[in-house]
Structure 1
Amino acid sequence: MNQYLNRLQNDEIRFIDGSTLGPSFEAKQSFALDDTLCTKIGRLESPPTIRTWVHHNTIVLGIQDTRLPNLVNGVNYLNSQGYKAIVRNSGGLAVVLDEGVLNISLIFPEAEHKLQINDGYEMMYALIQDMFKDLTDKIVAKEIVGSYCPGDFDLSINGKKFAGISQRRIRKGVAVQIYLCINESGSKRASIVKDFYEIAINNQETSFNYPTILPNTMASLSELLSAEITVTDTMKRLLQSLIKLTPKLTPNSLFGDEIDLYNYHLQRMIDRNSEISSMQEC
């Protein structure tokens, strides 16, 4: 077994599934959940947790995106295309979430796993390779220039990106997060973000170098593998991989004082998004 998959092994892993909660489940809630879990798990007060989540027609912006010179016009464009915008509580840049995008969070204590920064990325990369090993051995981790939210651990097949991995650390807790474009058009998603940046920058000088997006650098797994893959299929693959790694995979939700901490983090996300929320009420 891959050395990084070995590091995922644990006596017990809690599994929280948010992949079927529907459009009323908002991305602000997901980021509040991960911060709650990251805090409690970092304190060794909660078990390591793997969480899945799907959100409908949402563009998740990074902190740098809030400094775009014509952000209001960019957000108005997203709204006109049927997307709502939120700002996450970490770095990175704009990504698209919809019904064909599955997100997975691996949340572990830093001390227990002695995770270096790249170890978290490698763990997620190894997990995705294991999930789809019967379909392909061509998944590569490297930056795909021209994609949205580019990074060293973009996942691609034949040079086309289908996933991006990020990492958040809070008080000795580590949350490794991935978005997986499972089906529908990857290039169409990229075109939405491309147009957003063009409108929000509007040919003005910026202190930050925003990506020049080339839509044909992105695709979904279904497109890349010429197969009808669904979020439900991918969930089954994830569970099959996890069952090999732990003798006790426990479906559960928040419990005890996690709920109070979640409400605190949710309010922080609501406050963080107050300005961008007001843009979308106009």
Structure 2
Amino acid sequence: MQVNQDLLSQKTWRVIDQSVVGLHVNALQSFGMDDTLCASVGAGVSPATARSWVHHKTVVLGIQDTKLPFLKDGLKHLEEKGYRYIVRNSGGLAVVLDEGVLNLSLILAETEKGIDINRGYDAMLALVEEMFADYNVNIEAKEIVGSYCPGSYDLSIGGKKFAGISQRRLRRGVAVQIYLCVNGSGSERAELIKTFYHLGKRKSETKFEYPEINPEVMASLSELIRQPLTIEDVMLRFLQVLKRRSEQLYAGTLTEEELPIFQGYHQRVMDRNDKIFSEFS
């Protein structure tokens, strides 16, 4: 896939690994982090950055989800199942995060010609294909009808979705994000969101068409390849690809310049969530 060479192959990749510490913080921090990195990488003050993150049981909602006519009932169900919930600052619909879901973000600077949206998606697809090249599986990128947060770049094996890709663009920075269901039950995660929509929508007619979820079309990678995979296994594969694709790979954190930017973006997403959910408290 030659078209992706210049996006995955960077002179330097900085890696911010939050696959462990993320379990102890609210997922809102992750969206503040990616916005911060978009701003700093887009401004050219930081190199291309790859970030990994895992969060404790959280359902990340899209803006359209907050317009469900009986949202309060759907949120109550999530709480009863032990999930917290947030609204992200980018598009898409509800997705499930937990200890078996690895999120990866590639943050790149827009070039003079810009990064076409499909090139961003294709670069992430190429990354995942390279990460699992030793398995004899065909990873397809197409919408899986019946999945949660369906999109044209759902990643699937044998018609069962295990990952979804999204993008966030801010201040000449591009964050290409993916959630990878590494282990656990994909259908159980889908069942949670199916019930959320059932309770939140009921029989109401809505302007927006919410997905009719079929839990049978979702699975984890471990289920699909029929081998146990851990977050650590997949992280190693991720780092190995980035090492092959760069002259320099190093572990980093936010710089002194990025920290105050993060505080601003994090506060912004917190304020937005407080405003959205204030009527349900």
Say whether the 8 Å CA contact 2:15–2:251 is kept in structure 1: yes
Moved more, 110-119 or 203-212: 110-119
Rounded to whole Å, the distance in 1 between the matches of 2:121 and 2:113 is 13
Moved more, 242-251 or 5-14: 5-14
Distance 1:89 1:262, change over 3 A: same
Equivalences for 1:123-202 in 2 at 5 Å? 123-202=123-202
Identity over aligned pairs, percent: 53
Q: CA deviation at 1:73?
A: 1.0
Q: Aligned pairs, how many?
A: 281
Deviations along 1:165-209, one digit per CA (max 9) or x if unpaired, are: 000101211000000000010000000000000000021111100
Rounded to whole Å, the distance in 2 between the matches of 1:217 and 1:168 is 26
Deviations along 1:13-43, one digit per CA (max 9) or x if unpaired, are: 1100000115322110000000000011111
In the alignment, which residue of structure 2 is the partner of 1:122? 122
Rounded to whole Å, the distance in 1 between the matches of 2:221 and 2:82 is 23
In the alignment, which residue of structure 2 is the partner of 1:255? 255
Q: 1:90 aligned to 2:90?
A: yes
In the alignment, which residue of structure 2 is the partner of 1:49? 49
Letter in 2 for 1:26: N
Distance 1:72 1:276, change over 3 A: farther
SS at match of 1:127: helix
SS at match of 1:11: strand
Equivalences for 1:239-250 in 2 at 5 Å? 239-250=239-250
Distance 1:144 1:261, change over 3 A: same
In the alignment, which residue of structure 2 is the partner of 1:266? 266
Q: After TM superposition, which residue ranges in structure 1, 4 or more long, deviate above 2 angstroms?
A: 275-280
Segments of structure 1 that go 5 or more residues without pairing to the other structure are none
Letter in 1 for 2:154: D
Say whether the 8 Å CA contact 1:72–1:279 is kept in structure 2: no
In the alignment, which residue of structure 2 is the partner of 1:25? 25
In the alignment, which residue of structure 2 is the partner of 1:236? 236
Q: CA deviation at 1:277?
A: 4.7
Deviations along 1:30-59, one digit per CA (max 9) or x if unpaired, are: 000000000111111211100000001000
Letter in 2 for 1:63: I
Equivalences for 1:69-88 in 2 at 5 Å? 69-88=69-88
SS at match of 2:219: coil
Say whether the 8 Å CA contact 2:34–2:175 is kept in structure 1: yes
SS at match of 1:247: strand
Rounded to whole Å, the distance in 2 between the matches of 1:120 and 1:7 is 8
Q: 1:224 aligned to 2:224?
A: yes
Say whether the 8 Å CA contact 2:22–2:53 is kept in structure 1: no
Letter in 1 for 2:229: I
Say whether the 8 Å CA contact 2:11–2:247 is kept in structure 1: yes
Letter in 2 for 1:180: L
TM-score in terms of structure 2 length: 0.97
Rounded to whole Å, the distance in 2 between the matches of 1:254 and 1:177 is 18
Rounded to whole Å, the distance in 2 between the matches of 1:113 and 1:58 is 37
What's the Cα RMSD here? 1.4
Rounded to whole Å, the distance in 1 between the matches of 2:131 and 2:2 is 13
Q: CA deviation at 1:3?
A: 3.5
Rounded to whole Å, the distance in 2 between the matches of 1:189 and 1:29 is 22
Say whether the 8 Å CA contact 1:38–1:174 is kept in structure 2: yes
Q: CA deviation at 1:116?
A: 0.4
Q: CA deviation at 1:115?
A: 1.3
Q: CA deviation at 1:279?
A: 6.2
Letter in 2 for 1:154: D
SS at match of 1:152: coil
In the alignment, which residue of structure 2 is the partner of 1:206? 206
